[in-house]
Amino acid sequence: MKFFLISDNTDTLMGLRLVGIEGIVLHERHEFLVKLEEKMKDPSIAVILVTTKLIELCPDIISEVKLKQPKPLIVEIPDRHGESKIGETIDRYVSEAIGVKL
């Protein structure tokens, strides 16, 4: 089982290639969704890493895929500027799921 990166910047791609993770750099919403769908059908890929900026292009679709698709695992990773709000997103998911604000 492999990892695959879908990134919006070359620095992230090059860093992860150093540890053996292949990937692609994309910037447009449509091309991101096409590549994501293609890689989700690949049985050899267990984890798809996606940078925060790409997740922000279509958060509703990504949330739905994460909830309904058991495999592969889609993991949001912050970009090199570290402006991610992943913790807040997780808090919101948990709050919605259990009906209690954290």
Residue 70 is predicted with a pLDDT of 84
The percent of residues in the chain predicted with pLDDT above 70, rounded, is 80
Residue with tokens 């994460």: 66
Helix (H, G, I), strand (E, B) or coil at 30: helix
What is the C-alpha separation between 30 and 97, in angstroms, rounded? Answer: 29
Residue 86 is predicted with a pLDDT of 58
**pTM assigned to the model:** 0.78
pLDDT 10s digits, 34-76:
999 999 999 999 999 999 899 989 988 998 888 888 889 999 9
The percent of residues in the chain predicted with pLDDT above 90, rounded, is 52
Report the number of distinct structural domains present in the chain: 1
CATH number, domain at 40? 3.40.50.10580
Residue 102 is predicted with a pLDDT of 56
Going by C-alpha positions, the residue among 33, 30, 31 that lies closest to residue 74 is 33
Residue 83 is predicted with a pLDDT of 60
Domain enclosing residue 78, as ranges: 2-98
